[in-house]
Amino acid sequence: MSYQVLSPIIILLAFAFAIIIVNMFVKSKRRYFAYMALTGMIISLILVVDMAGLSFTSAMGLDLWDSPVNLTFPNLKLKVDAFSLFFYVVFLIAGILVTIGSISYIEKEEKYRAEYFSLMLLAVVGMMLVASTTDLFVLYLAFELTSISTYALAAFRKKDKASAEAGLKFFLMGAVSSAIALFGISIVYGVTAFTPGGPTTDLSQISDALNFALQGGIAHVQIPIILGSILLIAGFGFKIAIVPFHMWAPDVYQGSPTTISAFLAAGTKKGGFAAFFQLFLVALIAAKFQWGLLVGILAVITMVVGNVLAIVQTDLKRMLAYSSIAQAGYILIAICVGTLAFDGDVDTAQLAVAGGLLHILIHVFMKSGAFLVVALTATAKVGENLNDYKGLYRRMPIVAFCMTILLLSLAGIPPLGGFFSKFVLFSSAVNAGGWFVWLAVFGVLNSALSLYYYVRVIKYMYILKGEDESRVKVPTALYVAVILATLGVILSGLLAEPLISFAKAAAGGLLGG
Amino acid sequence: MEIPYLSLMILVPLVGTIVSFLLPRESTKAKWVCLIAALISLVISFIVTFAYVWSWPMGLQLDPSGSFAAYEKADWIPTLGMSYVLGVDGLSLPLIVLTHLLVALGIVFSWKETDRPKEFFGLLLLMDLSITGVFMSLDLFLFFIFWELVLIPMYFLIGIWGGPNKHYAAIKFLIYTHVGSVIMLLGIFALYFWAGPALAVGNTFNLVELANAAKLDPTYLGMAFQAPVFVAFFFGFGVKMPMVPFHTWLPDAHVEAPTAGSVVLAGLLLKMGGYGLFRLGLTMFPLAAREMWWLLATFGVVSMVYAAFVCLAQTDLKRLIAYSSISHMGFVLLGASSTLTIGIAGGIFQMFNHGLITAVLFMLAGVAKRSCHTRDISKLTGLVQKMPLFSFILMVSFFASLGLPGLNGFVSEFMVFAGSYESFGRYLIIPLLAIIITGAYYIWTMHKMVFGDFNTALGKIRDLTREEALPLFILLAFIIFFGLYPAPVIGLIEPYAAGLSSLLGGLG
């Protein structure tokens, strides 16, 4: 066994505990903790990219690992393959961007800074475990690790009423949804107990068991499977904020410290998607007739509600929260079309899942970038309301330009990254034919609708004249993070080829395994 | 030595745009940078055209099948069948020359722009880049990228430098045309996933491969596939063109846009719709285009007649020209519906001519606004007394637009009518009605503006300045030249039109 492929996770864990331990001895007012967290994540990212076969060792022909790595550890209930590596990249990029931004955003909070960065690392570890587990129950536990870390992070500014409220709301909603998900897991587990394989929590064995049950192996199995699916959709639907389980998201995103909003929208939400992919395209794929149409309907409702409600928002964080809900609707298309793998149409399913994964990755850049712009303007005392953005182009030209790129990418304007991923995603739905085409139709129409509110922000920045047009000093670390995110959006558009190949390999890993 | 002329036509404006954006705020050098970039592109487009027509050894990269004047190809995202393919032929060359010409002249016309000048000229050049890209791309994916890219600079041009109602006009323009584009995008997906495999070229966005295969098997997948996908494309192009009833964004956008923006919008942006119709709609769906000629014809005739009637009621000079644009773009649809060489060539030539004429008209409206501070036709009376040059150009361009023989508008409209006579017969009287109404509103407007009693409330007004006169006279020279001797352009277009016509006619 080559356990070194788990090193990205182990390194993060080590840094998370190191930060806490160092904090016991050093009461530093400097930024050591942020740099420690950043170091851990960058080392981890380099290793992950290398394992995916996209970096120096494979180019040098060292062959440290087969590229991409594909190893299973049955006793740890973990596997490391292209799918989990892809999500590692997603989570680590989200973590790195948010940590860089936090260097200037969290500066004034002297207390608990060590905890802030330590919890962030733990949340990333939890999500990485979600993406690489092979077991339903480990998946639940890993997700709870992330959730509990982020509850604390949302309430990080405990003296701030909005932040405390956000944390509490997030915690209550999260706890309820976890309970619902757990109930769903127990029902699925119960069904498997009556199959020849015996009770199991292994994801692919569950798939076989459900297949057996639904082929007539067990009488009257429809109702428990449908119930279990609905409970799982509801439980994890809360985590990724799909309509109608989305109510908490705008409030929490608005109240939390903005860097944490960025982390929730760009990072932990993607953890929820990793869980969704694992659950529905591996474990429950045999029951696709029981939940497929429901997820499709929810996808459409989520897009429409997210976009329509985003139009009426004037608070940028709320607007971005609703846009994030709408984006989740697009990604759900991948899950619907991905079910075709069960019918043997693996090519279409793989393309759809690759599109979903690509959108997840690029959404990390877009959404964390946009939230960090809001954090930046708030830190620079410009404000985080739409009206505060009037004439922003005179006050901080480069930030306004970056925001424009990020928003246009969110709207799916070519040649930016967001366009490529939506292109692959929607095209796979058209390719799937049947009722899936309607998903694509709603997807493109919603994209057109969303352009309205994204462009409105651009209008405020560039076209309307502000009262105050003096230059503003920009906090450096946030500035760097925003520029990195913008570069990510532009480069992922221009260098789409390696990304698409990687996403396709990841999709193949998910559907094949 | 082979020179990548087509890529240069994208690269030069791109460099120009970036340089002008990077200049310091309020710099006055931006206009020079942009003008030079546009002129270089214009020269390149002339080189390509002449090298094609007279077979000059200029080192054009030719395509293997020989149907394009110049052709450049590189791999881009092979995993998904996307490539970087540029090519020009008789359909696109006149439009590309027109693009660079109008942008260069638009820059000259706006020479005195003082509000955020570097962004203004930079965005105009970005329009040049993206529109040229649309006319040159032979990969559906690349085509769509440029198609959408056009929206961004135009949005800013209207939104920042526009008139009093600019916010509404800019967002309306953006949303309307974007909806059209995304519907078209679904059509592109359908071509990629279904048409490609059915035509045995596999999943590809390469338009040349798809079109060549469709030429061999024009009835592929039957009407059940071709009709809905054709309609999706037709909708996307129709909104851009625009055709009644999807035209309402256009008058708003035009009235609010700055003059150079209007010139680009009417002169070039609308042509993207017509170009797409020929390049994609008719070429990729021969069966549907042949069977559904009535769809094109109906929308064309309705646009022609309806918009002409609406023109009669306009009081704003710019709005009048905007509606007349809708009416004149109806000719393109009518020409396309004829499926005859002369009709198709007439439709393409009409796009070229309309670009020239409408640019003059919008510049004149801009001059009226600058000099007289109003575009209200009832206030702009008797201008010949104070603005003789303006009045002269106004008369010639009005005559050209209403189709006076000897000016270029007549030639293409004549060709369109000749082409559609076969299918319409005596019902051709309905579209001909548009000609009569067009004559009526132009002559009525001209009568007031040029020959009426001078409106003394206008006060001291000036005639054309140098930077206004130069582009106007250059365009006027083209209008008269191609009116008297249209052969060069028609000769360029004719082979393409003949190929398309034989493809469509071969089915009947």
The closest of B1, B92, B84, B85 to B45, measured between CA atoms, is B92
CB contact A63 to B (< 8 Å): no
Q: What is the mean pLDDT of residues B201-211?
A: 87
Highest mean pLDDT among A29-43, A52-66, A268-282: A268-282
DSSP track, A74-86? GGGTEEE-HHHHH
User: Given this model, what pLDDT does residue A56 score?
Assistant: 66
Q: What's the token pair of residue B272?
A: 């993207």
For residue A198, give the amino acid letter.
G
Of all helices (H) and strands (E), which one includes residue A379? Answer: helix A346-379
Q: What is the mean pLDDT of residues A303-332?
A: 93
Please answer yes or no on whether A427 and B193 come within 8 Å at the CB atom.
Answer: yes
Tell me the pTM.
Answer: 0.91
Q: What's the token pair of residue B213?
A: 């295969």
User: Given this model, what pLDDT does residue A108 score?
Assistant: 60
pLDDT at residue A109 is higher than 60: no
Query: By the 8 A CB rule, do A89 and A48 touch?
Result: yes
User: Given this model, what pLDDT does residue A304 score?
Assistant: 95
Who has greater pLDDT, A48 or A113?
A48
Selecting from B152, B156, B178 the residue whose C-beta is nearest the C-beta of A448 gives: B178
CB contact B175 to A (< 8 Å): yes
Q: What's the token pair of residue A125?
A: 């570890």
- Please tell me the distance in Å from B341's CA to the nearest CA on chain A: 35
Cβ-based contacts of B83 with chain A (< 8 Å): none
Confidence of residue A11 (pLDDT cuts 50, 70, 90): very high
Selecting from B78, B149, B189 the residue whose C-beta is nearest the C-beta of A414 gives: B149
Confidence of residue A67 (pLDDT cuts 50, 70, 90): low
Please answer yes or no on whether A440 and B193 come within 8 Å at the CB atom.
Answer: no
Average pLDDT of chain B to the nearest whole number: 89
Cβ-based contacts of B152 with chain A (< 8 Å): 408, 413
Contacts of residue B131, defined as CB under 8 A and 6 or more positions apart, other chains included, come to B99, B146, B150, B264, B268, B269, B272
The burial class, CB within 10 Å (0-12 / 13-18 / 19+), for B208 is buried
The closest of B12, B137, B131 to B72, measured between CA atoms, is B137
Q: What is the mean pLDDT of residues B256-279?
A: 92
Mind listing the pLDDT tens digit for each residue in B296-329?
889 999 999 999 999 999 999 999 999 999 999 9
Mind listing the pLDDT tens digit for each residue in A247-256?
899 999 998 8
For residue A480, give the amino acid letter.
V
Average pLDDT of chain A to the nearest whole number: 88
CB contact B362 to A (< 8 Å): no
Query: By the 8 A CB rule, do B191 and B284 touch?
Result: yes
CB contact B443 to A (< 8 Å): no
Give the nearest chain A residue to B143 (CA atoms).
Answer: A414
Q: What is the mean pLDDT of residues A74-83?
A: 87
Q: What is the mean pLDDT of residues A150-168?
A: 87
Where residue B465 falls (left for φ over 0; alpha for ψ -120 to 50; beta otherwise) is beta
CB contact B186 to A (< 8 Å): yes
Please answer yes or no on whether A444 and B186 come within 8 Å at the CB atom.
Answer: yes
Mind listing the pLDDT tens digit for each residue in B328-364?
999 999 998 888 889 999 999 999 999 999 999 999 9
Query: By the 8 A CB rule, do A289 and A346 touch?
Result: no
Selecting from A423, A424, A459 the residue whose C-beta is nearest the C-beta of B159 gives: A459
DSSP A475: P
Who has greater pLDDT, B53 or A119?
A119
Who has greater pLDDT, B26 or B171?
B171
The residue assigned the tokens 């008297």 is B484
- Reduced to 3 states (helix: H, G, I; strand: E, B; else coil), residue A473 is coil
User: Between residues 380 and 409 of chain A, which touch chain B (CB distance below 8 Å)?
Assistant: 408
- Please tell me the distance in Å from B277's CA to the nearest CA on chain A: 21
Selecting from B76, B77, B145 the residue whose C-beta is nearest the C-beta of A414 gives: B145
Cβ-based contacts of B175 with chain A (< 8 Å): 448, 451-452
Confidence of residue A112 (pLDDT cuts 50, 70, 90): confident
User: Given this model, what pLDDT does residue B79 score?
Assistant: 81
Q: What is the mean pLDDT of residues B163-182?
A: 90
Confidence of residue A64 (pLDDT cuts 50, 70, 90): low
Q: Domains in chain A: how many in total?
A: 1
CB contact B145 to A (< 8 Å): yes
CB contact A331 to B (< 8 Å): no
- Please tell me the distance in Å from A125's CA to the nearest CA on chain B: 32
pLDDT at residue B248 is higher than 80: yes
Sketch the domain layout of chain B as residue ranges. 5-505
For residue A392, give the amino acid letter.
L
User: Given this model, what pLDDT does residue A407 score?
Assistant: 95
Q: What is the mean pLDDT of residues A259-287?
A: 90
Q: What's the token pair of residue B114?
A: 């003082």
Q: What is the mean pLDDT of residues B149-175?
A: 91
User: Given this model, what pLDDT does residue A327 score?
Assistant: 93
Mind listing the pLDDT tens digit for each residue in B452-487?
888 888 888 888 888 899 999 999 999 999 999 999
pLDDT at residue A31 is higher than 80: no
The closest of A475, A317, A463, A479 to A391, measured between CA atoms, is A463
User: Given this model, what pLDDT does residue B52 score?
Assistant: 85
Contacts of residue B52, defined as CB under 8 A and 6 or more positions apart, other chains included, come to B60, B69, B70, B88, B93, B492
Cβ-based contacts of B144 with chain A (< 8 Å): 414
Of all helices (H) and strands (E), which one includes residue B434? Answer: helix B429-446
Contacts of residue A495, defined as CB under 8 A and 6 or more positions apart, other chains included, come to none
Query: By the 8 A CB rule, do B127 and A433 touch?
Result: no
Confidence of residue A235 (pLDDT cuts 50, 70, 90): very high
Alpha-carbon distance of B498 to B84, in angstroms, equals: 27
User: Between residues 148 and 167 of chain B, which touch chain A (CB distance below 8 Å)?
Assistant: 148-149, 151-152, 155-156, 159-160, 166-167
CB contact B144 to A (< 8 Å): yes
Confidence of residue B199 (pLDDT cuts 50, 70, 90): confident
Please answer yes or no on whether A414 and B78 come within 8 Å at the CB atom.
Answer: no
* Structural domain for A159, as ranges: 3-512
- Reduced to 3 states (helix: H, G, I; strand: E, B; else coil), residue B83 is strand
pLDDT at residue B384 is higher than 70: yes
pLDDT at residue A513 is higher than 60: no
Please answer yes or no on whether A500 and B190 come within 8 Å at the CB atom.
Answer: no
Alpha-carbon distance of B99 to B105, in angstroms, equals: 10
Query: By the 8 A CB rule, do B411 and B486 touch?
Result: yes
Please answer yes or no on whether A497 and B155 come within 8 Å at the CB atom.
Answer: no
% pLDDT > 70, chain A: 95
CB contact B34 to A (< 8 Å): no
Please answer yes or no on whether A500 and B80 come within 8 Å at the CB atom.
Answer: yes
Mind listing the pLDDT tens digit for each residue in A431-478?
888 889 999 999 999 998 999 999 999 999 988 888 877 888 888 899
User: Given this model, what pLDDT does residue A62 score?
Assistant: 61
User: Given this model, what pLDDT does residue A24 score?
Assistant: 85
- Output the CA–CA distances (angstroms, integers) from residue A403 to A446, A457, A458, B24, in the order listed: 21, 9, 8, 21
Q: Please give the radius of gyration of chain A, using alpha carbons only, rounded to the nearest integer.
A: 22
Mind listing the pLDDT tens digit for each residue in B481-502?
999 999 989 999 998 999 888 8
Cβ-based contacts of B182 with chain A (< 8 Å): 444-445, 447-448
Q: Where do the H-state alpha helices sit in B110-150?
A: 117-136, 140-149
Q: What's the token pair of residue B285?
A: 């769906």
The closest of B271, B145, B179, B156 to B263, measured between CA atoms, is B271
CB contact A453 to B (< 8 Å): no
User: Given this model, what pLDDT does residue B100 score?
Assistant: 94
Selecting from B166, B170, B178 the residue whose C-beta is nearest the C-beta of A451 gives: B178
The closest of A90, A204, A79 to A132, measured between CA atoms, is A79
The closest of B146, B128, B101 to B489, measured between CA atoms, is B101
Alpha-carbon distance of A160 to B248, in angstroms, equals: 50
